[in-house]
Structure 1
Amino acid sequence: MHRVIGETDLSETALDEDGARAVFRDMIRARHFDERALALQRRGWMSGWPPYKGQEGSQVGAAHAMADDDWLFPTYRSNAMQLARDVPASDILLFRRGHAEYHSDHDVPNFPQAIPIASQIPHAAGAGMAMNYEATRDDTEVTDAAVCYLGDGATSEGDFHVGMNFAGVFDAPVVFLCENNNWAISLPRERQTASESIAVKAEAYGFEGVQVDGNDPVAVYETVADALDSARDGDPVLVESLTYRQGAHTTSDDPDRYRPEDEDLPEWRTADPVERFETYLREQGVVDDEFVAECREDAKAELDDAVDTAEAVGEPDVDELFDYVYAERTPRIDDQRAWLHEWLEDHDPQEQEF
């Protein structure tokens, strides 16, 4: 397993000082966003929120390893990756308030978040196959790749096996980034699979699986960068990022009902990744009090602006429920739309009991 923090000088890693500061800045942004989003949800400002506190090192490290043109296949919990990939914070907030996912005019190569568990995995494999087909057609080398984010619970879904198998058979340029936070909602990893690890599952599909300390953003950066190089050469990789979800699965979840206080996990896995990385960078002479304070002030200002932007957007039009299901509305969708408009004429949704 690839680990760096506390064992290696930054000068011996693939990140230079500017790169390390950029990763740290994005981890601060991600932490502030998660805490603010949780507070906003608690006061009814938006719908449910899936916290990712404790997983910032894994997500930001992986995002920084990606090239600008690489495609990210995210899920509902990979919002730190999306922030680090320059998706506007206001877009993520507006999505949680019922708007189309990418509300602004940005051109970040990200697929929509997958809410169903594991449905994004075959999509990523298919996109990788398409990249291969285009390169063959144009007689060029494969230069782009896809990173498919998934949780450990997704490995129990059929889509996981289908996507991994297609990627292996067709040499798709895909890195499968599995964040193993030890809990698939209320199910611990040892009841999720009898395999020694999640990484070892890749062997069944004919490619490499590796583990990395997910709370070490430098190690994640290096591991995912190496995996992307391999994927572009036709060898997909499954990266198991060992991290820990500090909060609930979602705001509708109570982890105290199933998660014991004395979990038998090593300290490096449960330690706060933001604090851990800050300590490391201070010891390396890369950041100081002034820089850390600036990062936090900038993150707060960014979130204040994002909330203001989101609040300035009106309520989503009811037709958005139907306009984005398919490229063009079908007769059945039109019938459903007409029914809802007729129902709304006779009912006030604010007065309904659900």
Structure 2
Amino acid sequence: MAAKTTETVHSHTLRLTQPHVIQSYDIEREVRKGFVVVEPTLASICHADLRYFGGLRKPEVLAKKLPMALLHEGIGTVVGGNGVHLTEGERVVIVPYLPGYLLNDMQPEQCCPACRGEIADNYCSHGGFLGSGTDGIAQRRIVLPEPCVIPIPEAVSNEIAVLAELCSVSYRALRAVAPLLDKARVAVFGDGPVGYLTAAMLHHAFRIDRDRLTVFGAVREKLDEFTFATTEMVQTYDFQAGEQVDVVVECTGGRFSESAINQGIDILKRGGHLIAMGVSEDLVPINTRDVLEKGITIHGSSRSSASDFHEVLRVMENTDCQDTLKRLVPDEFIGVSKAEDLAGAMDSALAHRDWKKTYLDFHW
């Protein structure tokens, strides 16, 4: 049974109603015991947001999930609620993964195998995820369970903290092979933001230097940003004769997933591990013969939980890590105060797909 509502807040919400169309809604949000109210201040656009906005998801998916406020990478300021640990005015990171036991006011063991600890805790069957079936960060007041709102350390600036969600996803995926990473050779496929932040977490969180970390990409200018790793162009590298690795992390997604996964299988040692992080709308053929012959373990991971955010924010306090992450911070932030502003920002991000992230500076 849900906890009793103690108050309500009005939230100016910018919802995607159909591809390329964002409209304003004034929605009354319930604030239950144990929930806090956050005013989003800064967010970044994810490729997942662009797939919704551009109508690149399947029609049946769009019909089921829209209208919906987008965005799940962001920070804000606590402005009210019924929490016990957070205070008004505190800078916080927003965790988009909302476990079902928190949403439904029950004990974890009453919810599902994930909440009971029988499987990974980021796979709750009764939970929610901001900007994916649940209104996301594009709203003036967002009401969240207090454990899903995490204070930002003083040493971490807003522009770095907004990258915590994407870093936490990479960190969570790498936890599957964490016991191996003190000695393993690792290859990352993907020269975009996901590949960059995954490589950054390997370097700063798991202490893997360039002698054990190789990044494969298709654009030399992007690969040149990976100053802490060895880099290789996929167009010219000999994957059959190249040096073998213990772990491959695929961060490409879309139409490049097939080649990245299969090239990763080529260079994996026997007993190696393949972590798939890239999202594709279509089925991806993979070389199962070599998966079987090499005894490769495949891991899938695309979401994190609050515990990963805590670890990532700790890593972000390191100034070397901050210098690495700053390479993804755009030179200018886009101001957003109304639906037209957000639609324009999404259209621009969809058209240009810059290497750096697109930041949205909210003015409610």
The structure in which a higher percent of residues are strand is: 2
* TM-score, scaled relative to structure 2: 0.32
